[in-house]
């Protein structure tokens, strides 16, 4: 029986993303493509400044989990559409423990291999190896044929030896990963090596570890709990920043302030534009790519009533004269540390009396929060200080339906209608850093020098909110700064960005002159 037309033209579904490819397949082409290339340079590389800091972080992890194999994936590339990927960003725990930022190594995995106590790296209990796929040679077909990994398509990337020199960590080919992860694995009670995995970062690594556990009779439910403890610990490890991390955050804040200046300069062009918020968003994004790696998170460029929508990121509306523009944005440095700042700007250059009234209340709340920050207080006290001031203003304006005392009581909380979010969150590699930390170390945690977090009170009176007089409706104000806990108080890392209403107006006038 002859083949049908559909059978003749059968093509694997997985290969159809390559339908647009018109690459020759002749042997002559392959031989020519593999020849006449200059030899790849093999320079000596200096040790990265972050290497010693990352080594100390790995040592802390090793101290916490002696005798156990720890698996920390970077994560894979993520498809954006068909055969195009998003820019790669490694998982924050991987970045923290290696010191790698930007888009270096999709599919890389950091493995802590247990050794005798004290016999490991830097006196720890593990030997740590970075596994990744090295760049294929220029004489290989992958060089020109693999659009995801080939140097011809994506450019050169560091090799095993370069990362070893720069990071001070062992490196190995990813082809060795399966054996490294699964060897001698099994239940501890029968002499096996327990594995802990940073889960849901790379599904292929999840599958590798889970298959090993199934094959060796390890209880999967119990293993999930062990994995969760690892996730929790590597998040908590970032609660206190080291000196290198603080400098990265200073860099991010500086670039972010420059981005806010760019927005103010672009604001006249945005006013009245059909998508004025996009003009603002684009001005800031250009600075993020110029001075950093990317945005730390999607920019909130919210004008008018959009400023009362806490996570407004559509940014597709007009900006009209007389409105407020709430700009919440941050630049992510090449190290992946991000700032997170907010200012609420008068579009026409000057606050109206009611806008200034609301702005000054939010500023007073922010100042009250700053005043309590010092080592030894609990993180939650920052929020309590801010919302107390906001509630006092709401009571003075006659907006609270109950007494101030009742509103502030746990049974009341009426003021939270207009300030529904928290006042602070930790900041670092993630804009909401350390999110997997235990409650008693985060919300109930005690402040220590080196912690970095935001202070960001706000008031949001929606246009449709009939619980407030009409003059307040459509006004949303947030002021957000990035704060470093010092030995005796706090440093506002973003102090160079004006906060006082008179200073904001003068700053805008100077930039637009």
Residues 149 and 280 placed together within one structural domain of the fold: no
Judged by average pLDDT, the poorest of 44-58, 154-168, 254-268, 307-321 is 154-168
Give the residues across from 385 on adjacent strands.
none
Angle at 402 between CA 401 and CA 407, to 5 degrees: 110
The range of the structural domain enclosing residue 98 comes to 51-236
Residues 37-83 pLDDT 10s? 988 778 889 999 999 999 999 999 999 999 999 999 999 999 998 88
**Domains contained in the chain, number:** 2
378 and 255 in a common domain: yes
Compute the distance between CA of residue 174 and CA of residue 196 in angstroms, rounded to an integer: 19
Q: In this model, does residue 257 exceed pLDDT 70?
A: yes
pLDDT band for position 13 (50/70/90)?
A: low
d(CA 354, CA 344): 14
- For tokens 């959009």, name the residue: 306
Q: Looking at the structure, do residues 248 and 218 belong to the same domain, yes or no?
A: no
> Same domain, yes or no, for 302 and 169?
no
Is pLDDT of 247 > 60? yes
* Same domain, residue pair 254 and 163: no
Spatial distance between the Cα atoms of 438 and 98, rounded to a whole number of angstroms:
23
Position 477 in a domain? yes
Average pLDDT, the chain: 94
Length of the chain: 513
DSSP 196: E
Distance CA(399)–CA(140), nearest Å, equals 72
If you search the block for the tokens 């790995």, which residue do you land on? 58
Pairing of strands 195-197, 69-73: parallel
pLDDT score recorded for residue 365? 98
In a domain, 19, yes or no: no
Residue 213 parent element (H or E): helix 203-215
The predicted pLDDT at position 91 comes to 97
Contact 462/308 with Cβ under 8 angstroms? Answer: yes
Among 168, 203, 236, identify where a domain stops.
236
pLDDT of residue 193: 95
Strands 324-329 and 294-295: unpaired
Residue-level pLDDT at 138: 85
Residue 2, domain member (yes or no): no
**Residue with more model confidence, 317 or 153:** 317
Contact (Cβ atoms closer than 8 angstroms) between residue 198 and residue 73: yes
Check which CATH number belongs to the domain holding 344 and give it: 3.90.230.10
**Which of 236, 254, 285 marks a domain boundary?**
236
**Same domain flag for 314 and 195:** no
State the average pLDDT over residues 197-203. 97
**What's the pLDDT at 186?**
87
% of the chain residues with pLDDT over 70: 96
> SS3 string of 73-111?
ECCCCCEEECCEECCCCCCHHHHHHHCCCCCCCCCCEEE
Same domain, 322 and 455: yes
Nearest to 468 by CA among 364, 389, 358: 358
In this structure, how many other beta carbons lie within 10 angstroms of the beta carbon of residue 485? 22
Strand, coil or helix: 56: helix
**pTM of this prediction?**
0.94
pLDDT for the residue numbered 3 = 53
List phi, psi (to 5°) of 461.
-110, 100
In a domain, 34, yes or no: no
In 324-474, alpha helices (H): 353-372, 380-396, 404-408
pLDDT at residue number 10:
64
* Position 427 in a domain: yes
> Of 219, 236, 253, which residue is a domain's last?
236
Task: Please give the pLDDT value at position 317.
Answer: 97
CB atoms within 10 A of CB 37: 13
Residues 6+ apart with CB under 8 A from 15: none
Work out the widest C-alpha separation in the chain, in whole angstroms.
Answer: 90
Residue 343 is predicted with a pLDDT of: 98
Q: DSSP string spanning 167-183? A: H-SEEEEGGGHHHHHHT
For residue 139, what pLDDT is reported? 82
Same domain, yes or no, for 229 and 247?
Answer: no
User: Residue 403 — left, alpha, or beta (φ > 0 → left; ψ -120 to 50 → alpha)?
Assistant: beta
Position 7 confidence tier, pLDDT thresholds 50, 70, 90: low
Asked if 187 and 87 sit in the same domain, the reply is: yes
Torsion of the alpha carbons at 277, 280, 285 and 290, rounded to the nearest 10: 170
pLDDT digits (tens, 9 = 90+) for 344-370: 999 999 999 999 999 999 999 999 999
Say if residue 260 is in the same domain as residue 354.
yes
pLDDT in tens, 312-332: 999 999 999 999 999 999 999
Residue the block writes with tokens 């930039």 = 511
Give domain status of residue 452, yes or no: yes
CATH number of 188's domain? 3.40.350.10
Span 91-143, pLDDT tens digits: 999 999 999 988 778 999 999 999 999 999 999 999 999 999 988 888 888 88
Tell me the per-residue pLDDT of 205-232, one tens digit each, with 9 for 90 and over.
999 999 999 999 999 999 999 999 999 9
Same domain, 222 and 261: no
Closest residue by Cα to residue 419 from 491, 464, 362? 362
Structure tokens at 397: 């304006």
**Residue 398: pLDDT over 70:** yes
Decide if pLDDT at 336 tops 90: yes
pLDDT of 388 higher than 80 = yes
Q: Any idea which residue has 């005043």 for tokens?
A: 371
Question: Tokens 């009341």 appear where?
Answer: 412
62 lies in some domain: yes
Q: What's the whole-number mean pLDDT along residues 271-283?
A: 97
pLDDT of residue 24: 83
Bin 5: left if φ > 0, else alpha if -120 < ψ < 50, else beta.
alpha
Contact between 468 and 461 (Cβ < 8 Å): yes
Q: Are residues 222 and 265 in the same domain?
A: no
Place of tokens 């020098």: 449
Torsion-angle region of 336 (φ positive above 0: left; ψ -120 to 50: alpha; else: beta):
left
- pLDDT given for residue 71 in this prediction: 98
| Residue 39 located in a structural domain | no
> In the predicted model, what is the mean pLDDT of residues 475-479?
98
């Amino acid at each position: 029986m002859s083949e049908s037309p559909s059978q003749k033209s059968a093509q694997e579904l997985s290969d159809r993303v390559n339908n647009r490819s018109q690459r020759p397949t002749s042997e002559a082409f392959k031989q020519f493509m593999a020849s006449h290339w200059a030899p790849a340079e093999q320079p000596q590389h200096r040790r990265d400044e972050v290497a010693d800091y990352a080594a100390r972080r790995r040592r802390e992890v090793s101290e916490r989990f002696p005798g156990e194999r720890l698996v920390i994936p970077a994560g894979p590339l993520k498809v954006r559409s068909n055969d195009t990927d998003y820019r790669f960003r490694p998982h924050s725990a991987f970045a923290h423990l290696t010191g790698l930022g930007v888009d270096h190594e999709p599919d890389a995995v950091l493995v802590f291999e247990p050794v005798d106590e004290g016999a490991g790296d830097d006196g720890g209990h593990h030997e740590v190896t970075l596994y990744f796929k090295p760049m294929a040679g220029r004489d290989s077909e992958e060089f020109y044929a693999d659009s995801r990994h080939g140097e011809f398509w994506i450019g050169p990337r560091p090799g095993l030896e370069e990362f070893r020199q720069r990071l001070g960590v062992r490196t190995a080919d990813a082809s060795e990963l399966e054996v490294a992860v699964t060897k001698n694995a099994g239940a501890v009670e029968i002499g096996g090596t327990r594995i802990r995995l940073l889960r849901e970062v790379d599904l292929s690594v999840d599958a590798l570890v889970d298959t090993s556990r199934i094959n060796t009779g390890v209880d999967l439910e119990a293993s999930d709990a062990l994995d969760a403890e690892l996730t929790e610990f590597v998040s908590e490890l970032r609660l206190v920043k080291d000196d290198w991390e603080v400098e990265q955050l200073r860099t991010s804040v500086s670039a972010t302030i420059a981005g806010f200046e760019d927005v103010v300069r672009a604001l006249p062009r945005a006013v009245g534009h059909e998508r004025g918020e996009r003009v603002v968003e684009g001005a800031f994004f250009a600075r993020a790519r110029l001075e950093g790696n990317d945005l730390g998170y999607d920019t909130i460029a919210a004008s008018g009533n959009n400023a009362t929508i806490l996570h407004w990121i559509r940014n597709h509306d007009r900006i009209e004269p007389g409105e407020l523009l709430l700009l919440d944005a941050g630049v992510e440095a090449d190290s992946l540390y991000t700032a997170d700042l907010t200012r609420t700007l008068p579009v026409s250059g000057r606050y109206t009396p009611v806008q200034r009234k609301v702005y000054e209340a939010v500023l007073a709340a922010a100042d009250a929060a700053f005043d309590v920050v010092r080592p030894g207080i609990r993180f939650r006290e920052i929020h309590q200080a801010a919302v107390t001031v906001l509630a006092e203003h709401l009571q003075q304006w006659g907006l609270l339906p109950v007494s101030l005392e009742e509103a502030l009581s746990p049974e009341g909380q009426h003021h939270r209608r207009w300030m529904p979010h928290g006042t602070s969150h930790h900041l670092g590699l993630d804009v909401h850093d350390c999110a997997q930390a235990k409650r008693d170390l985060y919300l109930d945690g005690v402040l220590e020098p080196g912690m970095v977090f935001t202070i960001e009170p706000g008031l949001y009176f929606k246009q449709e909110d009939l619980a407030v007089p009409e003059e307040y409706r459509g006004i949303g104000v947030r002021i957000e700064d990035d704060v470093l806990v010092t030995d005796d108080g706090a440093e506002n890392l973003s102090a160079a960005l004006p906060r006082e209403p008179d200073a904001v107006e003068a700053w805008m006038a100077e930039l637009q002159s």
